[in-house]
Amino acid sequence: MHYRDLVSVKLWFNLKSEANKTYLGYLWWLLEPILHVAVFFLVFEKLLQRGGENFLIFLLCGNIPYLWFSKTVSNASNSVLNGRGLITQVPIAKVFFPMMVVLTDLVKQMFVFIFFFLFLILYGQAAQSTWIYVPAIILVELLVIVAFAMLSAAITPFVPDLRHIIPTGLMLVMFGSGIFYSYKDVVSAEYQSWFMMNPMANLIENFRRVIIDGIPPDWFSLAIIALVSGLVIGLMLMLFQRLDTTYAKLVVQ
Amino acid sequence: MGQEKRLILENVNFKYSSRNTFFRRAHHQVLYDVSFSLYAGETLGVIGGNGSGKSSLLKVLSGIYQCDSGEIIRNYKKASLLALGIGFDIELTGRENILLSGILLGARRSEVESKLGEIIEFSELDEAMDEPLKTYSSGMRARLGFSIAISLESDLMLIDEVLSVGDNAFRLKAMAAMKERVLSHQSAVFVSHSLRQVEQLCDRTVWLEGGRVRAVDTTSSVISAYRAQQKELASTKS
């Protein structure tokens, strides 16, 4: 199998095929996150009146990175099982399936980030020199996403029950990452360092530092997150290689 | 025979295990001590009833599954599994599906692109080529699938039930193309329910029964033994 050819062809075709299934097509790449943010904004700013200063931008900085993580991990968890048709017909490396999900969602997410920054400027948010650090944080988040996507894709075929647990886990991450609140206001001082062990909470805090506050990111945390994610990715690659033909037997059940 | 062997199987065993409850697993052995060889340039038929292990054997040969014990010696660079419509996406056009399916069957993108004209011509679907696959009938999809599969080159072809596609005219054309291919220097393993197709295409034939090799010999002798057994079974039943 020539994977480079396969990935380049399949990436473009996947995006197209998915867009063809709806009336609004490619617009959904942007509409979906906008709808999510609108719901949060409505509930916290208008209904509960808990928003606080500059809440919309604060919310966007949390929700956009979280939605990327959540969508990719949830799509990846089903990816090997969804690849059943191919797995039982051609010899194909199973790691291809979660990686395809990661790439497809990455392309969409890049458009979301571009529009996010256009919106920031139009909305009147003062541009900060620290915006140049954003790509570095995006890159670290990508590593975290790849690690979790591989992990969930690798385990779900063995324990199909996880399909019911992963959405709950992602909801927990949503509430536990400070998307609509600042952890400094909510979490008591002694637990704040524990809270920051959650990679998504940490990344979101860093996004806010560079986008809103104009402070450089916490490089030490980012380095640790990147390192641990890299380790997990390496381990998962080894696991996928060892279990490659085992998955073919699992998915036919 | 002093010829070069493309493929050697020695005591190949293969089983599935299925999950029943948390700790109990049921094992179904599908192949028992299967041994045979495939010579270069030869077409080897595989026959047997439903559940005899034909398709599993092909999947073990293609590397989709790994055998649990025994040895498979592979003496070729590139094998391709001929199955129809691999990776087809109904939202994409015929042309796009050719590219996708061809790459999944193991070809390079450039190879598929250079054969695009040939594939479209063989399928007789040039008018529908830029329509999405969801507008195709199942016969048209099968024709497209066969045209892709037959056009790609490999040292060893593994063929699973692909000749019963399309209308009668296309079936004849498909059979003729397959014959031309395998009667040349192509090494191939051909799995089929149709004894007539096996007779037409295969030099030697393996008869599988309940996952065991019942016979390996020239096609005519294996098929006459198989037919005799089928007749006997039919008469004892009635």
Average pLDDT over residues B74-82: 83
B165 shares a domain with B93: yes
The reply to whether B61 and B113 lie within a common domain is no
Same domain membership, residue B154 and residue B167: yes
Q: What is the model's pLDDT at position A253?
A: 61
Q: Does the beta-carbon distance from A91 to B89 stay under 8 Å?
A: no
Which pLDDT belongs to residue B1? 47
Which domain-ending residue is among B190, B209, B225?
A: B190
pLDDT tens track for B51-72: 899 989 999 998 899 999 999 9
Burial class (CB in 10 A: 0-12, 13-18, 19+), B3: exposed
Q: What DSSP designation does B134 have?
A: G
State which residues form the domain around A134.
Answer: 3-251
User: Which pLDDT belongs to residue B216?
Assistant: 93
| Cβ-based neighbours of B220, under 8 Å, separated by 6 or more | B199
Distance from CA of A31 to the nearest CA of B (A): 22
Distance of CA B211 to the CA centre of its chain: 17
- Chain A and chain B share a number of CB contacts under 8 A equal to 70
Indicate if B112 and B56 belong to the same structural domain: no
Q: Which amino acid is at A173?
A: V
Distance from CA of A104 to the nearest CA of B (A): 16
Determine whether B77 is exposed, middle or buried from the number of CB atoms within 10 Å of its CB (0-12, 13-18, 19+): exposed
Query: In this model, does residue B2 exceed pLDDT 60?
Result: no
Number of domains in chain B: 2
| Both tokens assigned to B133 | 């696959």
Dump pLDDT digits (tens) for A76-96: 999 999 998 899 888 899 999
Q: What percentage of chain B has pLDDT greater than the value 70?
A: 95
What CATH number is given to the structural domain containing B94?
3.40.50.300
Q: How confident is the model at residue B114 (pLDDT cuts 50, 70, 90)?
A: very high
ipTM over 0.95: no
pLDDT confidence of residue A181: 86
Q: What is the mean pLDDT of chain B?
A: 88
Is position B195 within any domain? no
Alpha-carbon distance A76 to A102, whole Å? 7
- In this prediction, residue A149 carries a pLDDT of 97
Q: Please compute Rg for chain B using Cα positions.
A: 19
Q: Which domain holds residue B16?
A: 5-77+201-237
Residue B196 maps to a domain: no
B74-133 residues touching A, CB cutoff 8 A: 81, 83, 86-87, 89, 91-92, 96, 99-100, 103-109, 132
CA distance B80 to A90: 9
| Separation between Cα atoms, residue B76 and residue B185, nearest integer Å | 13
Residues B156, B86 share a domain: yes
- Contacts of residues A38-44 at CB distance under 8 Å and 24 or more positions apart, as own/partner, are A40/A179, A40/A180, A44/A180
- CA dihedral A34→A36→A39→A42, nearest 10 degrees, is -50
Could you tell me if residue B138 is inside a domain? yes
B63 has a chain A CB within 8 A of its CB: yes
Rounded CA separation B103/B108 (Å): 6
**Residue B88 vs residues A3, A25, A152, B132: alpha-carbon distances, Å:** 17, 20, 26, 11
Residue ranges for chain A with pLDDT beneath 70: 253
- How many angstroms from the chain centroid is the CA of residue A53? 26
Of B87, B106, B132, nearest to A86 by CB-CB distance is B87
